């Protein structure tokens, strides 16, 4: 009888976690690598073609979304490493201050970008609730047209558009 926690073999979860960590290390190492211009252009074209092929061939599913997000994240990290190691200049105090201010703003934007990618990596699929078949059970809807210093013609166009809404009650 085997005890939980004392099994010496790898479970599929351990294998997945180990490979995910190794892929992350490879991902970060590749995104921070310095390349000559011709290799940089070759890598950029390859990434663009791979992303284009993924968009055109992979149907709308989770794997395609994750691939595109990983590709965009890779390019963003490459830019950030380049920006961190090459473009911050230290020639004068004022130039350095403005350079750092711009760098921190870009870093903040990149952090927000990655947080947005995390949120959008697995969107919820919501199903609309079924409406009751009896029209009398539907809730009533009031349409308000807030106006302030609007011309009468504009209010008239909006009011006519509101009368064209389809709602059975």
Which string of b and e fits 131-161 if b means at least 16 CB within 10 Å? Answer: eeeeeeeeeeeeeeeeeeeeeeeeeeeeeee
Q: Residue ranges of the alpha helices (H) in 83-137? A: 93-120
Give the pLDDT confidence score for residue 10 in this predicted structure: 57
- Residue ranges of the chain with per-residue pLDDT less than 70: 1-17, 58-61, 169
Is 0.85 surpassed by the pTM of this model? no
Summarised one tens digit per residue, pLDDT across range 61-110 is: 677 777 788 888 888 888 898 888 888 777 888 888 888 999 999 999 99
Give the pLDDT confidence score for residue 58 in this predicted structure: 65
Q: How far, in Å, are 9, 67, 146 from residue 12 at the CA level?
A: 10, 22, 59
Q: How far apart are the first and last CA of the chain?
A: 67
Give the pLDDT confidence score for residue 154 in this predicted structure: 93
Give the Cα separation of 64 and 75 in Å (integer). 17
Give the pLDDT confidence score for residue 13 in this predicted structure: 67
Task: Describe the crossing of helices 12-31 and 62-82 by its angle, rounded to 10 degrees.
Answer: 40
CA quadruple 122, 33, 107, 48: dihedral, nearest 10: -50
Give the pLDDT confidence score for residue 78 in this predicted structure: 86
Give the pLDDT confidence score for residue 112 in this predicted structure: 96
Give the pLDDT confidence score for residue 41 in this predicted structure: 83
Is residue 162 within 8 A of residue 143, CB to CB? The reply is yes
Give the pLDDT confidence score for residue 18 in this predicted structure: 74
Is residue 121 within 8 A of residue 65, CB to CB? The reply is yes
Give the pLDDT confidence score for residue 156 in this predicted structure: 94
Give the pLDDT confidence score for residue 27 in this predicted structure: 73
| Closest listed residue to residue 27, CA positions, set 13, 7, 11, 47 | 47
* Residue 65, token pair as written in the block: 């979304």
Give the pLDDT confidence score for residue 16 in this predicted structure: 65
Give the pLDDT confidence score for residue 8 in this predicted structure: 53
């Amino acid at each position: 009888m085997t005890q939980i926690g004392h099994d010496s073999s790898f479970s599929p979860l351990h294998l997945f976690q180990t490979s995910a960590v190794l892929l992350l290390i490879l991902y970060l190492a590749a995104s921070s690598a310095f390349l000559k211009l011709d290799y940089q252009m070759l890598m950029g074209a390859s990434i663009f073609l791979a992303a284009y092929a993924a968009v055109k061939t992979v149907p709308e599913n989770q794997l395609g979304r994750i691939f595109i997000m990983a590709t965009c994240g890779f390019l963003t990290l490459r830019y950030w490493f380049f920006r961190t190691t090459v473009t911050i200049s230290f020639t004068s105090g004022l130039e350095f201050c403005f350079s750092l201010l711009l760098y921190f703003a870009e870093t903040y934007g990149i952090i927000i970008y990655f947080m947005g990618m995390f949120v959008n990596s697995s969107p919820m699929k919501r199903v609309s609730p079924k409406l009751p078949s009896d029209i009398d059970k539907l809730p009533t809807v009031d349409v308000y047209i807030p106006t302030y210093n609007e011309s009468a013609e504009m209010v008239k166009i909006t009011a006519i558009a509101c009368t064209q809404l389809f709602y059975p009650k």
